[in-house]
Structure 1
Amino acid sequence: MLIPGSPRALEGVRVVDVTQVMAGAYCSMLLADMGADVIKVERPDGGDDTRGMSRGSDVEVSPAFNAMNRNKRGIAVDLKDPRGVDVVRQLVRGADVLVENFRPGMLERIGLGQQALRELNAGLVYCSISGFGATGPYAGRGGYDLVAQAMSGLMSMTGEPGRPPAKVGVPICDLNAGLFAAYGVLSAYVHRLRTGEGQFVDTSLLEAGVAYTVWETAMFFATGDVARPMGSAHRLSAPYEALPTADGWIAIGAANQRNWERLCSVLGDGGLTADPRFADNAARMTHRIELSGELATRLRRRPTAEWLDLLHAAGVPTGPLYDIEQVYADPQVQAREMLVETVHPRMGRVRHIGAPVKLSATPSTVRRPAPLLGQHSREVLAEAGVPDAEIDELLAAGVLFSTPADDRTGRPGADRTPLEPTEVSA
């Protein structure tokens, strides 16, 4: 739990977030959770595309946007106008990090490329996330998670054998690209602390997918075997998969000989351990289909809850197959604070996924919900040294947009005191 007054790991680090949708927004959200001051830059006409991913027309009540942009302050500025570009350049002068996920070359064309910005701020860590990276024959292509899953090989090995291609159930290339980007930013920031020099951090959705094919690539390099779909089964160990019970499914990880023997003991069937087809892991992998059938026949004799009690008591790694609702009802998920809340000025109390990494001295915190479109425009520019009169001119010209947190109508206007959420830690 958060101790009042506890420092945050990235407190004092300023991040300019010029991102859209998921990969870049997830990267900067991870940095914000650890205490960085992240300034989300959006366009005035609707903002980040995820604001439109809601059931209604109100861009301020999008669950998709709120999921990726908590803990950030927001400004809305028109980057098609040179005055809007100058606003971002002003922010960069005092920033430590910039994160962007535009198609390579787009920000260079308007004067916000990494070379131009590092001339303003030599210590800037400039992070770019794209579909295919900043170099190579595909650098100019747009990229989506689905395309990256297909081209990284992930779709070729996901799902059940003999079925049409299936993607991983979550946008794993988007999220992994954001995670790898945050890892790269922090590595570059440590280098900057040592040398004073910033650098270019470059990653992509494609690389994020390829990097996660660890077992499959290792097998291919060693044997030439190409991985194919195996459902929930493991490629190197058995039994290690979801199996049917009398009333549902159970995931069993009896991946070594000791746990295999414990499983057989719980099943009360010495014949399995005596069967030469299942004598050791190599034999079980050779006869994995037969093994699954034998285990399913036995597991269907009892409901999932009874098997869980018996297998846990025997020390066999196992768990139930949850849907999302069941995940957040689980006492372990709750104990680890993987469900936290903030108060949103339009949506009221909003639930979030908690931080998955716990730091003992500098805990991550979920301090505020995602910003309203342009909620902190005036505040952020004033901090950057822009005079009030110039801010007023930018607002009047439509280059800058501001939505006060307590203005429920969404009309532009001067920021007033926002409704601040209760701080939650993990």
Structure 2
Amino acid sequence: SRMLAEYGADVIKIESRTYPDFIRVILGGEMSPSFASSSRSKRSLGINVKTDEGRRLLLDLAAGSGGAARFDVVVENGSTGVMDDLGLGYQHFAAANPDVIMVSSQLMGSSGPWSDWKGYGPNTQVTGGMTHLWDYPDVERPSGSQSIFPHHWAGRMGALAAVAGVLGRRRGVMARGCHSEVCQVEQTVGVMGDLLARESLQAGSVKPQGNRRDLGAPWGLFPCEGEDQWVAICCRTDSEWPALAELVGVDDPTLETVEARRGREDELEEAVSEWTRTLSKHAVTEACLAAGVPAGPMLTSSQQLQDPHLAARGYLVELDQPPIGVMTFEGPAFSATGMVDADIRPAPGLGQHTQEIAAELGLDEAAIDDLIARGILEIDLLAAES
């Protein structure tokens, strides 16, 4: 939904203090860096949908009652069945607005023997096979990663599903709206589809390799001058090897083929490491690239903030995010000629736009104040105090 918001959609985040988005409150208070990143450019409607009045107001909003713009899309990723139990499943929104596109994203999907599982990134990675492969072959416990890659990928696929649904409806492919499902584990398996196909042909062929790959050798991360400084070098072809061998100082005609080098990877990696340890990661990168060998420095998060390439492309975005302050964010997913620039604004406070959205429904000030007083609607407490 953030992706849709940045490219022109009016995205309203539905939330409540009775059951807040845990990413919003994970560090205490009502704003965190993770929430600021994932919910930027949206509006926030604080509403208690566990009440009859709250549900009715939300469905009225989806239907465009009182002059409000009708919902084109509803996105949800609560646990399987939660929206139906609340009276806010696809059938409820479709009854209010037959043209609505609903996109649902759950860990294991809405059907199948594991459909009732609750989970987040770590659950998605292990069940989707990513944790098994994101490892070294000789360690007892899987290393894993702090990346929440499956969340980001599934979210972008959800945006694609939403746009496809809206276009299908507008072009007459569908008479009405539809309910799309983006299963997070399936998305994780899907990005490794080539490995799944290989395993189906040769059982046991897909297994952890650390940073090595069957595609070439030497291939991996190598230590450089300084503490915890590394460079990635990928010698893909036999034509790239002579250039790397000259840099490293290896003169051995028996290593001319990938097959031969794959059989002596330990020896080769030690030889490459002896060379890289004497230079900075940037110096190694420059030397390799000048010789036609793919390479790149391992950057930390702090180094990315100072990365001249990202800065030159204008990718990093600074926003003053209340109440945290000025933060640096990743930029939009893509840019395109002929399109307006992505609209990137700070993430909203919980209920920051409640009153203006309620007014769009045709509610007068007295009615809105009454709903707030009774806990049906919720407003941004920090803004109210100021």
Do the two structures share a fold, i.e. TM-score over 0.5?
yes
Residue-by-residue CA offset, 1:398-419 (whole Å, 9 max, x unaligned): 110112774455xxxxxxxxxx
Asked if structure 2 preserves the Cα contact closer than 8 Å seen for 1:97 and 1:127, the reply is yes
Asked if structure 1 preserves the Cα contact closer than 8 Å seen for 2:74 and 2:102, the reply is yes
Asked if structure 2 preserves the Cα contact closer than 8 Å seen for 1:343 and 1:350, the reply is yes
**Deviation of residue 268 (structure 1)?**
4.0
> Secondary structure at 2:171's aligned position in 1?
helix
Instruction: Work out the number of aligned pairs and report it.
Output: 375
Candidates 4, 14, 25, aligned match of 1:41: 14
Candidates 128, 132, 138, aligned match of 1:162: 138
Matches of 1:214 and 1:288 in 2, distance apart? 27
TM alignment of 1:274-289, pairs within 5 A: 274-275=253-254, 278-289=255-266
Matches of 2:359 and 2:26 in 1, distance apart? 31
> Secondary structure at 1:178's aligned position in 2?
helix
Matches of 2:25 and 2:153 in 1, distance apart? 23
Asked if structure 2 preserves the Cα contact closer than 8 Å seen for 1:249 and 1:320, the reply is yes
CA pair 405-379 structure 1, distance change in 2 beyond 3 A: farther
Unaligned runs of 5+ in 1: 1-27, 410-426
What residue number does 2:233 align with? 252
Residue 229 in structure 1 maps to residue 208 in structure 2:
yes
Residue 67 in structure 1 maps to residue 37 in structure 2:
yes
What residue number does 2:67 align with? none
**Deviation of residue 345 (structure 1)?**
3.8
> Secondary structure at 2:328's aligned position in 1?
strand
CA pair 186-299 structure 1, distance change in 2 beyond 3 A: same
Unaligned runs of 5+ in 2: 64-69
CA pair 293-402 structure 1, distance change in 2 beyond 3 A: same
Residue-by-residue CA offset, 1:188-215 (whole Å, 9 max, x unaligned): 2221221253211101221122112234
- After superposing the two structures, state which structure 1 stretch, 33-42 or 292-301, moved more: 292-301
**Deviation of residue 172 (structure 1)?**
1.7
**Deviation of residue 373 (structure 1)?**
1.0
Residue 402 in structure 1 maps to residue 379 in structure 2:
yes
- After superposing the two structures, state which structure 1 stretch, 234-243 or 329-338, moved more: 234-243
Matches of 1:403 and 1:218 in 2, distance apart? 50
Candidates 86, 109, 112, aligned match of 2:56: 86
CA pair 316-106 structure 1, distance change in 2 beyond 3 A: same
- After superposing the two structures, state which structure 1 stretch, 159-168 or 72-81, moved more: 159-168
- After superposing the two structures, state which structure 1 stretch, 234-243 or 312-321, moved more: 234-243
TM alignment of 1:323-334, pairs within 5 A: 323-334=300-311
Asked if structure 2 preserves the Cα contact closer than 8 Å seen for 1:355 and 1:364, the reply is no
> Secondary structure at 2:102's aligned position in 1?
strand
Q: Alignment RMSD, CA only? A: 2.1
What residue number does 1:349 align with? 326
> Secondary structure at 1:95's aligned position in 2?
coil
Matches of 2:344 and 2:92 in 1, distance apart? 33
**Deviation of residue 341 (structure 1)?**
1.7
Asked if structure 2 preserves the Cα contact closer than 8 Å seen for 1:103 and 1:142, the reply is yes
CA pair 49-301 structure 1, distance change in 2 beyond 3 A: closer
Matches of 1:334 and 1:363 in 2, distance apart? 20
Candidates 262, 277, 289, aligned match of 2:243: 262
Q: Could you tell me which amino acid in structure 2 is paired with residue 73 of structure 1?
A: R
Matches of 1:136 and 1:147 in 2, distance apart? 17
CA pair 229-120 structure 1, distance change in 2 beyond 3 A: same
Residue-by-residue CA offset, 1:159-214 (whole Å, 9 max, x unaligned): 22222112233012222221221122122222122125321110122112211223
Candidates 234, 242, 245, aligned match of 2:221: 242
- Compare relative contact order (CA 8 Å, sep 6+) and give the higher one, 1 or 2: 2
Return the TM-score normalized by structure 1: 0.82
> Secondary structure at 1:221's aligned position in 2?
helix
TM alignment of 1:194-205, pairs within 5 A: 194-195=171-172, 197-205=176-184
Matches of 1:82 and 1:104 in 2, distance apart? 21
CA pair 143-226 structure 1, distance change in 2 beyond 3 A: farther
> Secondary structure at 2:240's aligned position in 1?
helix
Aligned-pair identity in percent equals: 28
CA pair 300-342 structure 1, distance change in 2 beyond 3 A: closer
CA pair 404-298 structure 1, distance change in 2 beyond 3 A: closer
CA pair 256-40 structure 1, distance change in 2 beyond 3 A: same
Residue-by-residue CA offset, 1:284-328 (whole Å, 9 max, x unaligned): 334333332332233334333332232222232211111100112
**Deviation of residue 363 (structure 1)?**
4.0
Matches of 2:379 and 2:149 in 1, distance apart? 34
- After superposing the two structures, state which structure 1 stretch, 37-46 or 213-222, moved more: 213-222
What residue number does 1:183 align with? 160
What residue number does 2:87 align with? 111
> Secondary structure at 2:46's aligned position in 1?
strand
Matches of 1:46 and 1:116 in 2, distance apart? 21
Q: Could you tell me which amino acid in structure 2 is paired with residue 251 of structure 1?
A: A
> Secondary structure at 2:239's aligned position in 1?
helix
Moved over 6 A (4+): none
